[in-house]
């Protein structure tokens, strides 16, 4: 620890402030923003850095979220390091261009404050917004706390811009629960050190490079479209190794080491709980409660939802008899929520019982005791004392 070359400083920041601070240190070339309801204070905080001259970023104020992503795509196609931030309905409105950003292989970075989609109108946390974009071709990193928001955003540029990847990256944080909560965040003290970690941007393509003219986004019909999709698959396939490499380098620099999944007391666990985002922290508390009761329970957090860490999840669940997957979004008409569907695919063919729990929609709170109770019922299931349906709910009035 002591021989680390950089100095770090602990700050008290909300998730929004932590995100804006990371982006300030990254100093991207262009940011586009539109304050849709509910917009995020993240861009508000970032515009203050622009106004104060703390960054050289050119801010483009547009007339809708659709335009915000369009402007970001335009800037990235011109060879700029570009970002925008959004939330809930804002992400829904920009969706058409979200898909295009990935298809054009533009390594845009976008924090998304996870909030429920309307209607009815709700501004609180769930993961419906980013789950709606899970097949858009973006890398998705879910953050448990403000520290992870800061760290993941600095890593996101290096991951997306890697020549083997060239994909846009979404970094998600739970609305209000993380976005508006003040926490300790350890930050790299000097902006130059953070920038050095990200490295200078060398765009793989630029519409402004007149010596090497290119066409982007033209008509691409039956003859080549399929092959281009296959290339995106290839990029996603390459991403895990690059993510691991960037996380390792970041760990070397800061001492904060991340993996695509985070195991908590899973080694000897018979029952494993799984979740994304801020709930992972609450679930770890619940695991400690259950361990004190003598139950061998662990928790597995998924950090990168896209690409989904199938190999790591399969390996981490190799000793588990029962797995309870907590989903903070719902896939209407599907048997399981989005996270559980992936877990089922990851453990396919293994002798393990999986149960899915939908919780927390529209910001409904989730408490340690509720997760602990879920763990106990899964333990009862394992012992044959209880049956549980494939999917049920936590914290729902019925």
Binding-site ranges for another protein (CB under 8 A): 10-12, 14, 123-124, 144-145, 174, 176-178, 180-184, 278-279, 281-282, 284-285, 365-368
CB of 63 to another protein, least distance (A): 26
Q: Please identify, using beta-carbon distances, which residue of 264 and 336 lies nearer to another protein.
A: 264
- Per DSSP, the three-state class of 23 is helix
The pairing of beta strand 297-302 with beta strand 304-306:
unpaired
Q: Please identify, using beta-carbon distances, which residue of 12 and 64 lies nearer to another protein.
A: 12
Question: What is the rounded distance in angstroms from the CA atom of residue 259 to the CA atom of residue 250?
Answer: 11
What is the Cβ-side half-sphere exposure of residue 373, based on CA atoms within 13 angstroms?
A: 9
Q: Please identify, using beta-carbon distances, which residue of 94 and 372 lies nearer to another protein.
A: 372
Residues sharing a CB contact under 8 Å with residue 9, sequence separation 6 or more, in sequence order? 186, 187, 189
In order of 245, 298, 353, 354, the CA distances from 384 in angstroms are 43, 20, 12, 14
CB of 6 to another protein, least distance (A): 20
- Per DSSP, the three-state class of 180 is coil
Q: What is the dihedral of CA 133, 174, 60, 163, to 10 degrees?
A: -60
Sheet holding 297-302, edge to edge: 261-264, 297-302, 271-275, 322-327, 353-359, 391-394
Question: What is the rounded distance in angstroms from the CA atom of residue 166 to the CA atom of residue 225?
Answer: 18
Copy the structure tokens of residue 287.
């695991």
CB of 322 to another protein, least distance (A): 23
Question: What is the rounded distance in angstroms from the CA atom of residue 102 to the CA atom of residue 106?
Answer: 6
Copy the structure tokens of residue 39.
């917009």
Q: Is the bond preceding 120 in cis, omega lying within 30 degrees of 0?
A: yes
Beta bridge partners of 33: 61
Q: Please identify, using beta-carbon distances, which residue of 9 and 249 lies nearer to another protein.
A: 9
Copy the structure tokens of residue 21.
């601070």
Q: Please identify, using beta-carbon distances, which residue of 48 and 249 lies nearer to another protein.
A: 48
CB of 95 to another protein, least distance (A): 26
Q: Please identify, using beta-carbon distances, which residue of 300 and 354 lies nearer to another protein.
A: 300
Cα 79 → chain centroid: 24
The pairing of beta strand 86-87 with beta strand 82-83:
unpaired
Q: Please identify, using beta-carbon distances, which residue of 132 and 395 lies nearer to another protein.
A: 395
Residue pair 64/53 in contact (Cβ under 8 Å)? The answer is: no
CB of 207 to another protein, least distance (A): 42
Q: Please identify, using beta-carbon distances, which residue of 47 and 181 lies nearer to another protein.
A: 181
Q: Please identify, using beta-carbon distances, which residue of 73 and 143 lies nearer to another protein.
A: 143
Beta bridge partners of 342: none
Q: Please identify, using beta-carbon distances, which residue of 279 and 356 lies nearer to another protein.
A: 279
Q: What is the DSSP letter of 175?
A: T
Residue found by looking up tokens 């860490």 in the block: 309
CB of 143 to another protein, least distance (A): 11
CB of 247 to another protein, least distance (A): 19
Residue 91 backbone dihedrals phi, psi, to 5 degrees: -65, -40
Q: Please identify, using beta-carbon distances, which residue of 111 and 281 lies nearer to another protein.
A: 281
């Amino acid at each position: 620890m002591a021989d680390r070359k950089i100095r770090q400083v602990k700050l008290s920041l909300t998730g929004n402030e932590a995100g804006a601070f990371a982006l300030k240190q990254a100093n991207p070339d262009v940011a586009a923003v539109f304050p849709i309801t509910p917009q995020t204070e993240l861009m508000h905080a970032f515009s203050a850095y622009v106004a104060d001259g703390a960054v050289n970023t050119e801010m483009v104020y547009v007339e809708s979220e659709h335009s915000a992503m369009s402007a970001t795509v335009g800037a990235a196609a011109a060879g700029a390091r570009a970002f925008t931030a959004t939330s809930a309905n804002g992400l829904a409105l920009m969706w058409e261009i979200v898909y295009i950003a990935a298809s054009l292989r533009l390594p845009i970075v976008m924090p998304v404050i996870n909030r429920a989609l309307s209607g009815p109108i709700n501004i609180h946390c769930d993961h419906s917004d980013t789950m709606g974009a899970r097949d858009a071709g973006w890398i998705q990193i879910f953050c448990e706390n403000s520290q992870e928001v800061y760290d993941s955003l600095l890593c996101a540029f290096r991951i997306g811009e890697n020549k083997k990847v060239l994909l846009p990256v979404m970094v998600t944080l739970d609305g209000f629960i993380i976005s508006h909560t003040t926490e300790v965040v350890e930050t790299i003290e000097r902006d130059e050190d953070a920038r050095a970690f990200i490295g200078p941007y060398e765009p793989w393509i630029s519409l402004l490079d007149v010596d090497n003219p290119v066409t982007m986004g033209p008509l691409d019909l039956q003859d080549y479209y399929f092959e281009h999709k296959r290339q995106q698959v290839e990029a996603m396939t390459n991403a895990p190794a690059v993510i691991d490499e960037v996380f390792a380098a970041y760990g070397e620099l800061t001492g904060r080491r991340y993996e695509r999944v985070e195991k908590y007391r899973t080694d000897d666990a018979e029952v494993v709980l799984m979740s994304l985002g801020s709930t992972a922290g609450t679930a770890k508390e619940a695991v400690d409660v259950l361990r004190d009761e003598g139950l061998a329970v662990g928790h597995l957090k998924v950090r990168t939802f896209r690409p989904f860490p199938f190999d790591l999840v399969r390996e981490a669940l190799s000793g588990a008899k029962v797995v309870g997957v907590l989903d903070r979004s719902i896939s209407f008409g599907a048997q399981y929520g989005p996270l559980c569907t992936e877990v089922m695919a990851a453990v396919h063919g293994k002798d393990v019982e999986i149960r899915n729990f939908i919780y927390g929609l529209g910001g409904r709170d989730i408490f340690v005791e509720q997760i602990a109770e879920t763990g106990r019922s899964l333990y009862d299931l394992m012992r044959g004392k209880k049956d549980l349906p494939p999917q049920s709910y936590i914290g729902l009035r019925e």
